[in-house]
Amino acid sequence: MLMFCTMYSLDKTDTKLLQALSDDPRSTFVALADTLGLSRNTVQARMKRLEDSGAFLGFDRRINPAALGYPLTAFIEVHVQQKRLAQIVLDLALIPEIVQAHGMSGQTDLLVRVVCTDAADLFRIDGTILACDGVERTETSLAMGEVIPYRLTPLLDRRG
Amino acid sequence: MLMFCTMYSLDKTDTKLLQALSDDPRSTFVALADTLGLSRNTVQARMKRLEDSGAFLGFDRRINPAALGYPLTAFIEVHVQQKRLAQIVLDLALIPEIVQAHGMSGQTDLLVRVVCTDAADLFRIDGTILACDGVERTETSLAMGEVIPYRLTPLLDRRG
DNA sequence: AAAATAGTGAGCAGAGTGCCCTATTCAGAC
DNA sequence: GTCTGAATAGGGCACTCTGCTCACTATTTT
């Protein structure tokens, strides 16, 4: 397996490992080895490599915000004075309801994902964002539903 | 613990559990019980309740698309003939590079999250979306970076 | 007062983990 | 052809963790 780039490139066996984990995130190394027809040593070695190579993101992503009392998700497009972008990101990071933000190409500078308890809460959060120095305009869109829930399995299947 | 609504409402102990899990997603029940100062039985019971109540989302969300060979993320706003929305969602679900889609309020009908290998790949995927019956227009924005990586800890901390 | 709920502590058989070592296979380098 | 490194398999061992049960104690609800 080659390593020319910094990031380790996953092969088919890794893919199958991830598929098996998607089926059952709690499955043990023994069970994984069994379903994949590999030895336990191999599975453990590969899992360690996957972890070390940054193939896994934070556990936060598996927590359902609705269970925490934030049933609403909204996307807020934020237009800013671009030279202040770095500072604005730091300011936004202080708002706990902002669960994610992407710097974007195109008309919008930032796409911010927000969770909130209700519409009034969203209104308040939007105000907080607008109050940040350098933020010029926001456009809020409420997510009515996750019509395609986050998934990577179709991509995994294609490499299987 | 009260249960007025269908969804189980998390209390402070649950929150601390989730925090501990965020710190170390692989920590065992024994370790969790130790750090929280609870008995192992209690931790196991609470974890089971959390799982049953749907507090955890799919494992997919923890897989880094970049590790799979999809370093680029884009958000595509899709405008559709609204009466065909349901069918369009089914069609979009067949496109593996679409990792998530939200039905939106506001000008945009759908906000689609896409991962791709490069700009040409994104162009191709956008074409595939446009080719779906009932899709009228798309607006693609490439994510230059996740300036605030997905996080729920600030919200967890606030309930701690 | 009785009942439900959450927690504790103890115990136990079985399963899983982390770690070690060795052997084999295989592809690429020399 | 030979060498080397990587991936894998298989064995083994001490230790930990799990799943489960049961009995007991608080606390809260009814």
In a structure prediction context, what are the per-residue pLDDT tens digits for chain A, which is 160 residues long? 333 344 567 888 999 999 999 999 999 999 999 999 999 999 999 999 999 889 999 999 999 999 999 999 999 999 999 999 999 999 999 999 999 999 999 889 999 999 999 999 999 999 999 999 999 999 999 999 999 999 999 999 987 6
Same domain, B101 and B44: no
Residue B107's pLDDT is 87
Number of domains forming the structure of chain B: 2
Residue A133, min C-alpha distance to chain B (Å): 17
Residue B95 has pLDDT above 50, yes or no: yes
Q: Is A46 part of a structural domain of the chain? A: yes
Asked if the structure places residue B5 within a domain, the reply is no
Domain contains A149: no
- Chain D positions with an atom below 7 A of a protein C-beta are 6-11, 16-22
Are residues A110 and A49 located together in one domain of the fold?
Answer: no
Nucleotide with smallest C1' distance to residue A13 CA: D7
Nucleotides of C under 7 A from a protein CB: 5-10, 15-21
Closest B-chain CA to A96: B154
**Same domain (yes/no): B46, B90:** no
- CB-based contacts of B111: which residues, under 8 Å, 6+ apart? A75, A141, A143, B75, B76, B77, B78, B101, B102, B104
Residues above pLDDT 70, as percent of chain B: 94
**Shared-domain flag, residues A21 and A39:** yes
pLDDT one-digit tens code per residue, B102-155: 999 988 999 999 999 999 999 999 999 999 999 999 999 999 999 999 999 999
Dist. CA A158–CA B155, nearest whole Å: 36
CA distance B49 to A41: 33
- pLDDT computed for residue A40 by the predictor: 93
CATH number for position B139: 3.30.70.920
pLDDT band at B99; cut points 50, 70, 90: very high
Verify that B46 and B69 share a domain, yes or no.
Answer: no
Q: Are residues A46 and A76 in the same domain?
A: no
Do residues A73 and A122 both lie within one domain? yes
Q: Is residue A49 part of a domain?
A: yes
Given this model, what pLDDT does residue A127 score?
A: 97
Q: What is the mean pLDDT of chain B?
A: 92
Question: Residue B112 has what pLDDT?
Answer: 98
* Dihedral pair phi/psi, residue B45, rounded to 5°: -65, -45
The residue count for chain B: 160
pLDDT score of B65: 95
Mean pLDDT of B90-104: 98
**Is residue A48 one of the residues assigned to a domain?**
yes
For residues B90, B94, B96, B101, the Cα torsion angle rounded to the nearest 10 degrees is -10
pLDDT band for position B8 (50/70/90)? Answer: low
pLDDT in tens, B47-68: 999 999 999 999 999 999 999 9
Q: Are B44 and B76 in a shared domain?
A: no
**In a domain? residue B153:** no
| Domain shared by A70 and A131, yes or no | yes
Whichever domain contains A36, its CATH number is 1.10.10.10
A138 and A72 inside one domain: yes
What's the pLDDT at A9?
73
Q: Measured between CB atoms, which of A58, A110, A153 is closest to B60? A: A153
| Mean pLDDT confidence for B22-36 | 94
Q: Are B51 and B69 found together in one domain?
A: no
Q: The domain containing residue A47 runs over which residues? A: 12-56
Place of tokens 């959060």: A125
Evaluate whether residue B96 is within a structural domain: yes
Residue B5's pLDDT band, with cuts at 50, 70 and 90, is very low
Six-digit token string for A127 = 């105000």
Statement: residue B7 has pLDDT above 80: no
Nearest CA to B143 out of B119, B110, B124 is that of B119
Structural domain includes residue B149: no
